Chain A
């Protein structure tokens, strides 16, 4: 059995990966949010990264 999903039972604490706008909106609502300063990986590294994910 997969673990129970706490999505609707826990107060939302959010990580935002991408548009700053969404983190700003959560800040306005006083919802805890961490913005990730995301940058795209070099395109050629993608296969390597997937491989690393599989290994780790």
Chain B
């Protein structure tokens, strides 16, 4: 066995690029382990677990790159190092006509003085400074970075209002502006519905379903998850609603968010009522429904998409499972369930999808434990399920030092295998989110894990039904049909919306186990 541990001092690479390089290196001949990562304390722990934390790596700083690999022999190790260096030195994307990439925002503006928008995904500690500079340069800001203090968020949004620009974020995962998919976003047809979303996968679900409904999206503006808190006061949401109200291509507006602070909800709803365009409001987890003529309340993400499509004149039904396939799945899940299999396990990559599942299932099944729940239903150990459990694997406990689970499925795959080995697990409820930014082929990866999970359950004398909600469109780079086919081949039933997946999961769990 040959080991190589190489430090590149002061060499910054983003976590997604390093994850991809690590994955490519592991596929090289003779390589048994490979990691390219920044030398953060958390990543040093990962190196130590693999026996690759040398004294030099231990001494490295968080802004140093560590390349660590193990191979069957020296020749394989050297070949892999050469591949790693080539990948690290490869030019990043961008259009500068062959010139060196700019190193600052100001230099980038010199290359494209017509730029109107900046996407910022640098570490949270550095993000506010860059965002502030961007506003001063006249740019709108999509701030993908998280771990930005709320005081900085408020200051940025106040400054944005002064200069007539918008700060989407922090922690804004998605936007569609003028047809351009930014961050994690789906390829949706242009159309008359504008979306303001405080939640990333909530916006992806709504925009994707609007595509399936044949209606389409004018723009989708993200606000960041904290925008409708009492502290931030919905500043970006209110400004985004005004932009869509003034946009001639937008006829109907959808607003989606977790339930806001009460005073913010009142202010935002009052604002919606005065926009002069119909507004559909979905406060995820609230069961409010009905319409006062100006505002229509939708209790689910899918319901919001459908209501908006109707208001825009669309008549197509929401995509849904074939009734026969649904009934067959229910019957098989009922008949194949052992009496000890009592609990549902929902493992989500999408935070809003997880939250929606948690609230809808709570209404149907009683107590559901979660890392998103507060009080008695909060998980004491995020790595162990209790009773019915729904978890959001995008939360910090699972992502520290790793890319988001929509890109890096490793942590969820491990959890799926653990749930499969638990004799109390009756059903897996999962999401797959495709589109730009997401994993290249998430269904292939998940199908491999599900095969192993099914084998584990079978060895224990159990069946393990799996429901997957697949969020995305036919024109997404991964292809909705190709992803669905792989999941179905792996034995999963593929629901067409999260609300449908959750309803089916609840129906399975409400059906008594077959008397053994």
User: Footprint of B on A, CB under 8 Å?
Assistant: 2-29, 31-43, 46, 49-50, 53
Which range holds the interface residue count of chain B? 35 or more
User: Footprint of A on B, CB under 8 Å?
Assistant: 10, 12, 14-17, 63, 92-96, 100-105, 107-109, 111-112, 114-123, 125-126, 129-130, 132-134, 139-140, 144-145, 161-166, 177-183, 218-219, 239, 243-244, 246-247, 249, 407, 436-437, 477
Known: A15-B108, A16-B118, A21-B437. A33 touches B93 (CB 8 A): yes
Chain A residues with CB under 8 Å of B92's CB are: 20, 23, 35, 37
Taking the closest CB of chain B, its distance from the CB of A50, in whole angstroms, is 7
| Residue from the list B14, B108, B239, B407 in contact with A34, Cβ < 8 A | B108
A37 touches B120 (CB 8 A): no
State in angstroms the CA–CA spacing of A5 and B160 once bound together: 10
In the A-B complex, list the 6 residue pairs whose CB atoms are closest, starting with the nearest: A35-B94, A18-B121, A2-B164, A23-B93, A25-B436, A37-B101
**CB nearest neighbor in A for B12:** A39
Q: Can you list 23 A-B pairs, Cβ within 8 angstroms, ordered by A?
A: A2-B161, A4-B164, A5-B164, A10-B116, A12-B177, A14-B119, A14-B182, A15-B108, A15-B117, A15-B139, A17-B105, A17-B119, A19-B15, A22-B119, A29-B181, A36-B102, A37-B101, A37-B102, A39-B10, A39-B63, A40-B126, A42-B63, A46-B125
| Residue from the list B93, B133, B183, B436 in contact with A20, Cβ < 8 A | B93
Given contacts A17-B105, A35-B96, A37-B101, 17 further A-B contacts (CB under 8 A): A2-B162, A3-B164, A6-B116, A8-B243, A8-B244, A12-B177, A14-B116, A15-B139, A17-B122, A18-B145, A26-B180, A27-B94, A28-B436, A28-B477, A34-B102, A36-B107, A40-B12
B93 touches A40 (CB 8 A): no
